[in-house]
Amino acid sequence: MMRAVARLWCGQCGKGLGFVRLAATAASSQSSGNVDCSTKSPLKKKAPVATRTKKPSKKVIAEISRKNWLDSLTLPLGGEGDVDAECDAEVLAISASSAPSAAVDNAFVIGIDPDFKGALAVLRLEDDRFIPEVFDVPTLKVAIGGTMRLRPDAKAIVNLLKTINAPHGSVAYVENSLPHSTDGKQSWWSSGFGFGMWTGTLLASGISVVPVSPRAWKTAMGLSSSKDESRLVASSCFPSIASQLTRKKDHGRAEALLLAAFGRGLTPQSEWGQTVAKSV
């Protein structure tokens, strides 16, 4: 069965606008019709053009992911359950080229070298003076593949964090180092295990974590990669505990102390460092 069609003409300019099918009942009464070409023809409807949003660059995506990661490591400065207390994640974001601002007014700062032979250092502000304390990372020996290897003692680390009595929301600056490509699988495993254990334990203890690359804090302190240089600088900056930094294996203690100083915005080149150097 064939359906009738009607041709549409513009009533004002006489331009043909095409054909349209008619129902069988209307075919006998209408074979053509006039319409205004200013109106849209039912045969020429245009699909809406979808607006394309600009995809963010890789640099923007990386920056957003970094901020989200830092935010996940940050706890409120108030007590537990204090929803209104906020910790500014922007202030805690440590770039690879600059030290944190001295405006971060923390009277209690923690620095941690998470290596199995590393240490935890604390700087307490008392009577306008920084009182340093340093503790070796608690470890125990475990048989791995027939070889006795050092591993962090998780229970002893929890007890150590209780002992230092850090206020809720205190900040710990933890070195986040990557092993060299030539290192063995044990070095790669140990590096990730130590950093991960400290991060989880600190957050569970109510302490915020700021990961810091070795290049960031050593550049701010004017240091090279020499472990002995770290001991010498830490001894001059903290003469009250210099006796705990005399051995070569004490480099973990020295670096933990300098990490805490870096987190507080204190460097040997700052006014604080110059004052300490003159008093020694």
Kind and range of the H or E run holding 162: helix 154-164
pLDDT in the model for residue 75: 67
pLDDT in the model for residue 64: 82
Q: How far apart are CA 165 and CA 107, in angstroms?
A: 13
The tokens of 65 are what?
């992911």
Average pLDDT, consecutive stretches of 10 residues, N- to C-terminus, the chain (280 residues): 60 61 50 51 57 78 77 61 38 40 62 91 87 92 80 89 90 84 68 85 92 90 87 91 92 94 82 52
Q: How many CA atoms lie within 13 A of 68 on its CB side?
A: 6
Round to the nearest angstrom and report the end-to-end CA distance of the chain: 109
Q: Where are the beta strands (DSSP E) in 182-255?
A: 208-212
pLDDT in the model for residue 27: 44
pLDDT in the model for residue 175: 92
- Where does residue 145 fall: left (phi above 0), alpha (psi -120 to 50 degrees), or beta otherwise? left
Q: Which amino acid is at 13?
A: C
Cα 144-145-146 angle, rounded to 5 deg: 90
Q: How far apart are CA 71 and CA 195, in angstroms?
A: 17
Q: How far apart are CA 101 and CA 98, in angstroms?
A: 9
What is the per-residue DSSP string for 93-125? ---SS-PPPTT---SEEEEEE-STT-EEEEEEE
On whether the CB atoms of residues 132 and 238 are closer than 8 A, the answer is yes
Q: Where are the beta strands (DSSP E) in the chain?
A: 5-10, 16-21, 32-35, 108-113, 119-126, 129-136, 139-144, 147-152, 171-175, 208-212
Q: How many residues does the chain have?
A: 280
pTM above 0.85, yes or no: no
Domain boundaries, the chain: 5-35, 58-279
- In this structure, what DSSP letter does residue 243 have? G
pLDDT in the model for residue 15: 63
- Is 58-279 a domain of CATH 3.40.50.720? no
- In this structure, what DSSP letter does residue 49 have? P
